[in-house]
A and B are shown apart, each in its own frame.
Chain A
Amino acid sequence: MRIIFKPNDNQAVLNVILLADTAMKTMMRYANGIIAALLIMPLAAFFTAKDANSLRFPYVAAHLTKNEAAAHLLSRFTYGATPGEIEKVANEGLENWFAKQLEARLPDDSLSALLNNYDALKLSNAEVLKQYPKNGQVLRMAVKDGSLNKDSVKTDRKGYRDSLAAYMEKNGLKPERELFRQFINQKVLRATCTNNQLQEVMTSFWFNHFNVSITKGNCAQFVPAYERDVIRPNALGNFGDLLLATAKAPAMLYYLDNFSSVGEKAPRMTNQRPKRMSADTTAMMVRPPKKKNNRGLNENYAREVMELHTLGVDGGYTQKDVTEAARILTGWTIYPFGQYGGQAKNALTNLSEDQLQKRGFVHEGDFLFAANKHDDAAKVVLGKKFKAGGGYEEGVELLEMLAHHPSTAKFISRKLAVRFVSDNPPQTLVDKMAKTFLSTNGNIKQVLTTMVNAPEFWAKDAVREKTKSPFELAISAVRGLDATVTQPYQLYNWINKMGEKAYYYQAPTGFPDKGQFWINTGSLLSRMNFGLALTSGRIPGVKVNLKALNNNHEPESAKAALATYCKLILPERDPAATIKRLTPLLNDPQLVTKVNNASAKVAPKTTDAITGADSTIRRETKKQNQAVMQASNGNSAMLAQVAGIIIGSPEYQRR
């Protein structure tokens, strides 16, 4: 066992980083007073050179060339290969590349430079609440402050807006949406630029697995820190640590309501308590002020943690288990940020850590175990007995048990295989991964290693079998074309349009990870339009230099462009079919004119079958037509069109 002390960002508390699992359990039992935030696994130390050697990818047996195998590897563990990356990885050795990705310690200086433009990214949750309050809260504060006349909205909308803006300016407040904008920009840039691609892919995977949503009001502001502090640092760590960290995160506590769950048998504060616990404290701790009838059990989190986070819906638990687990987790809540009002907040925050500890409270950063809200009686979950008086520790024990349950091993392994292999992964593969999951106590790197060492990963029916999500499509296109992104949000808008409003997925299930979910008639057209918009420079703040991709050689004909850019955009794939289908179109410069003439002769009033253009427009299009079609020499519109069609093609939707 190793214990590393490391100062936290904002509070001068110590993070205890425990490596050995059994040691952790023992430790946690006695860790009542220790602030144990399980945050960062020192990855390199844990994944040694010996493990790297244990990587051996059986792609030759699957009849893949080294380059094809590298392409497959990159398609699964990155957001898309950049130009030349396949060759680079093949030269470096596939196993070596993967080992470095597992370590996730490659320098990321250019990304850091880009992210420095966003000032909200490093804020703690408490700072976020101070600087980016919810819109309604700003209104109330401004009215209370006398800076805003609440009735003026009816009479003088502009004046109302101006005085609100002035109030925010004066007090250093910023609109909530700006926080989310920065957060999303950050994600797009990170996925596009980071050298530690696997870590980012895994961050998306786990975020979706432990989904929280900006659509839920009280959870929204905590979403950025959730991904930054809870998900990303644990993305390649240990599943149990990740589970515990999510359970204690404000975003999750709000999203699935556990913050409000109070044990029906919770010991109320009485006057036997030390005098310092004032009446105010009592009132606050038992229930938030002004809200009656709130006292009670909320099973929401307890159910989802079993159904969606660990065991799976068929994982062998009952409604009784859900209720008992919910009782165990009563009192797991948020350390007051201030929204509960001054008095109540002070009552708790005035207590020293020692005083909290003596009362059985656990305070770690934003997390609070409120002993007075906890159901202290005995419970039984999945046959395991939890004695009365277990306090905070029994919750940790419960999550530990869930993290190491065989159903969890299967459920998580399957989900990983769906993400990285195919929508219907072979059971043999899932079983191997589950075995590793159990034998390594949920070591995520080891589970991934087992997966990528397995023949099933490289099998013919796995290669190119996944459908890119809209996010993956957009980022892979930007990476593959080496585009310069100065307005990441523009890409997000397209991703949204194609059907993936990332971070706004309402249901706790997260986005389904299957092609069928992403591909529907509307979204498919959006994908095609995205390809055309990207390559023709119609996405503001996203610049593509197609010629540069080809060493500034201009293809001499449309046909040559097609062949060249198929190879560049779809490396290591057989472009024959695509070229064959498109060549006749590109070879007939009169095609569109012919089409127009033909339809004009027979049915002059009907609209054009595809463009819906009427005959006036059609005349104009002739000229443009010729421009486009005679593009064989130096017309970048033609090049843009060819590249756009390739990005929008079915082949490009697969990875």
Chain B
Amino acid sequence: MLTRRGFLKAGGLSLFGIGLMGGIPAFIAEAAASEKQSQLYKGKKVLVCIFQRGAMDGLMAVTPFTDEYLKKARPDLFMSAAKSGGNGSLIDLDGRFGLHPGMKSFERAFLDKQLAIVHGIGSPNTTRSHFDAQDYMESGTPFSKSTSSGWLNRAAGLLGHDAATPFTAVSLTSAMPRSFYGDNPALAISSLQDFAIQMRGNPAGANLAAKSFEDLYDQTASGLLQQTGRESFEAVKMLQKTNVKNYKPANGVVYPTSALGNSLKQIAQLIKMNVGLEIAFAESNGWDTHFNQGTANGVFARNVTDLSDSIMAFWHDIGALQDDVVVMSMTEFGRTVHQNGTGGTDHGRASCNFILGNDVAGGKVHGKVDALAVENLEDGRDLAVTTDFRSVFSEVADKHLLLKNDKVLFPDWKGSRIGVMNT
């Protein structure tokens, strides 16, 4: 079988020096190469993770609306699922849980059994610090701060092929997220358009500079710089076979103009370009709703609408490739059952998350949410964590990406799975 490295050596990608080398013009070799290349990466399974930073109020996103305790604890925040409520009422999912009306776009996917929800999910570590909880969730080790790698980086190492492309693991963020820290190559870029040698208004200069850089990096004595340099230019070339700038989503999809919408749009581009993407990461911010959280309108509603609309736009955009892709959201913890004194909620424990995909056990609210009586709450105030996030993350990653070794993925975790993926 043609390995990635062997392929590159053979494929004439070493230099783009069109017209410089004599003999067969390099661009012909390149054109041939790009064909093979696309074939090589076609049909890769892709896991897209979205981190909702700030701690999403799971009880408002997916409300156990029959719970009288909740109704009492949140006089200003509670919404009902009564049809009479009009646009402001919850979308009844199963007679017990209601989806926030802002997430109308999720309803279809839930009915089609593509969307699963896990409620009561969280970390066994009871910290209510954003910083620590994100750190623990992203490192995948809720009781160890010294873990230097992130769980998605470890997942990249378990994909079962040593020859990764520069795009195996891509985060659409300006800085490398904690989940991606580690020894396996991972890429953080805020915009695909920036991924080139840039000389504004002087493409010829950029061209020359790129050629010069490529030559220099190809010849350097430093192994690290040479290898990475080579990968960088490969990546640039792989991207530039497509017109990144004028990307038109399929099926007339319009993405929200938010940061998340923009990130997911670029992830869709990468998937369609067959550059070997297998693990993608994006962020959604603004979930720390201590103040005037709102109900059917307001900050929280805007956030969930952006989340669901962005995800569904992405889902429709990738169309025929849906079988290859799973999207999973995550947030560091949930929020207090009681509303606080400023129309919001404070840091709590469990929240919920969303998993979208054709191999997902969808159309169901998984997990366990007890009646929200004080005696059932963690520390008498918070929705109890009944499902360890590692149970869900490992199941989704293992099943979808066909990973084997979750001892490496989540060292110290010995729990069982809850069946969020179809077998």
Contacts and interface: CB of A to CB of B under 8 A. Distances in A.
Contacts of B31: 603, 606
B146 A509 contact: yes
A624 B237 CA distance: 23
B215 A581 contact: yes
A653 B223 CA distance: 13
Interface in A626-649: 628-629, 637, 641, 644-645, 648-649
A595 B343 CA distance: 64
B204 A515 contact: no
A603 to B, nearest CB: 7
B203 A617 contact: yes
A321 interface: no
Interface string A477-519: 0000000000000000000110101001011110010011001
A525 B206 contact: no
Given A151-B292, A515-B224, A506 B178 contact: yes
A650 B220 CA distance: 6
B402 interface: no
Nearest to B148: A509
A6 to B, nearest CB: 36
A140 B342 contact: yes
A496 B197 contact: no
Nearest to A591: B208
A318 interface: no
Say what secondary structure dominates the interface of chain A. helix
Nearest to A617: B203
A519 B220 contact: no
A520 B203 contact: no
B175 A611 contact: no
Nearest to B378: A293
A612 interface: yes
Contacts of B161: none
A612 B231 contact: no
Contacts of A582: 212, 215-216
Given A602-B28, A609-B27, A612-B196, A621 B203 contact: yes
A529 interface: yes
Interface string A579-617: 001100100000110110011001100111111110001
Given A520-B185, A610-B207, A529 B198 contact: yes
Contact of B203 (A611, A644, A648): A611
Given A501-B175, A512-B148, A610-B197, A592 B18 contact: no
A532 B197 contact: yes
B373 interface: no
B179 to A, nearest CB: 11
Contact of A216 (B131, B176, B181): B131
Interface in B198-254: 198-213, 215-217, 219-220, 222, 224-226, 228-229, 231-232, 235-237, 240-241, 243-245
A215 interface: yes
Contacts of A217: 130-131
Given A307-B146, A599-B27, A519 B19 contact: no
A327 B19 CA distance: 72
B281 interface: no
Given A507-B135, A522-B195, A610 B146 contact: no
Given A611-B206, A624-B204, A650 B226 contact: yes
Interface stretch (B68-76, B93-101, B186-194, B409-417): B186-194
B114 interface: no
A519 B225 contact: yes
Contacts of B380: 292-293
B205 A524 contact: no
A139 interface: yes
Given A140-B342, A524-B232, A624 B207 contact: no
A476 to B, nearest CB: 16
Contact of B208 (A213, A497, A529, A628): A628
Contact of A519 (B131, B224, B342): B224
Contacts of B379: 292-293
Given A611-B203, A650-B220, A154 B188 contact: no
B216 A581 contact: yes
A232 interface: no
A163 interface: no
Contacts of A613: 203
B30 interface: yes
Contact of B211 (A153, A216, A501, A610): A610
Interface string A555-582: 0000000000000000000000110011
B18 A599 contact: yes
A637 B244 CA distance: 28
A240 B195 CA distance: 46
A437 B379 CA distance: 47
Contacts of B200: 538
Contacts of A117: none
B187 A522 contact: yes
A521 B187 contact: yes
B5 interface: no
A153 B294 CA distance: 11
A525 B240 CA distance: 14
A257 B203 contact: no
A610 B135 CA distance: 38
A81 to B, nearest CB: 20
Contact of B197 (A497, A528, A585, A617): A528
A607 B134 contact: no
B20 to A, nearest CB: 8
Interface in B3-61: 16, 18-19, 25, 27-28, 30-31
Contacts of B130: 217
A21 interface: no
B228 A592 contact: no
Contacts of B209: 528, 532, 641, 644-645, 648
A392 B16 CA distance: 67
A608 B203 contact: yes
A515 B181 CA distance: 14
Nearest to A303: B145
Contacts of A612: 196, 240, 243-245
B341 to A, nearest CB: 10
Given A216-B131, A585-B215, A598-B19, A621 B235 contact: no
Contacts of B294: 154
A649 B216 CA distance: 6
Nearest to A465: B222
B198 A621 contact: no
Contacts of A625: 204
A304 interface: yes
Contact of A521 (B204, B235, B342): B235
Contact of B241 (A525, A607, A621): A607
A651 interface: yes
B186 A650 contact: no
Given A304-B145, A521-B231, A609-B237, A595 B19 contact: yes
Nearest to A598: B19
A599 B217 CA distance: 24
B376 interface: no
B298 interface: yes
Contacts of B422: none
Contact of A525 (B174, B185, B197): B197
Interface centre among A504, A508, A521 (most CB of B within 10 A): A521
Given A522-B232, A524-B228, A581-B215, 17 more contacts: A293-B379, A501-B175, A506-B134, A521-B166, A524-B217, A524-B225, A532-B198, A595-B18, A603-B27, A610-B240, A611-B207, A611-B240, A629-B208, A637-B205, A645-B212, A649-B216, A653-B222
Closest 4 CB pairs of A and B: A650-B220, A625-B204, A611-B203, A598-B19
8 contacts: A136-B291, A300-B132, A522-B187, A522-B188, A528-B209, A592-B207, A606-B27, A641-B205
